[in-house]
């Protein structure tokens, strides 16, 4: 599977390196789009704003969640644990520690090989 397609799938595993490349990039994209929305909000019509700013959020969010799910798979855990991120303060701290610092399983697990 080509690397760009692996960004969009929820199957398989992701290394810590992929996590540290994709997740901060997605947050920076969210911030950049938010700033763009603030700058353009009064100057463009609503449909153009909707398509130009909110449209890109869908694939960015998809890639973000797919990477988190793959990283959980690398830790041999269910991707459904990603919902813990919605717990204020505790969720992001958990993700930073669990997904960003701890290594994945070195051997094949139920989600595939490394």
Q: In the chain, which residue ranges form alpha helices assigned H by DSSP?
A: 3-6, 16-40, 46-49, 57-74, 90-100
Q: Is the pLDDT of residue 20 over 90?
A: yes
Decide if 36 contacts 80 (C-beta within 8 A): no
- Model confidence over 65-100: pLDDT tens digits? 999 999 999 999 998 899 998 999 999 999 999 999
Based on the number of CB atoms within 10 Å of its own CB, is 79 exposed (0-12), middle (13-18) or buried (19 or more)? middle
pTM for this entry: 0.82
Decide if 69 contacts 79 (C-beta within 8 A): yes
- Model confidence over 25-50: pLDDT tens digits? 998 988 887 777 777 666 656 666 66
pLDDT of the residue at 110: 87
Query: What is the C-alpha to C-alpha distance for residues 7 and 26, in angstroms, rounded to an integer?
Result: 12
pLDDT of the residue at 77: 92
């Amino acid at each position: 599977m080509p690397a760009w397609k692996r960004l969009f799938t929820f199957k398989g595993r992701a290394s810590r390196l992929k996590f540290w490349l994709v997740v901060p990039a997605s947050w920076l994209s969210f911030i950049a789009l938010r700033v763009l929305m603030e700058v353009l909000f009064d100057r463009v019509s609503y449909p153009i704003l909707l398509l130009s700013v909110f449209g890109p959020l869908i694939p960015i969010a998809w890639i973000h969640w797919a990477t988190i799910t793959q990283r959980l798979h690398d830790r041999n855990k269910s991707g459904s644990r990603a919902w813990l991120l919605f717990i204020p303060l505790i969720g992001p701290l958990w993700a930073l520690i669990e997904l960003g610092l701890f290594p994945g399983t070195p051997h094949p697990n139920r989600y595939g090989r490394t």
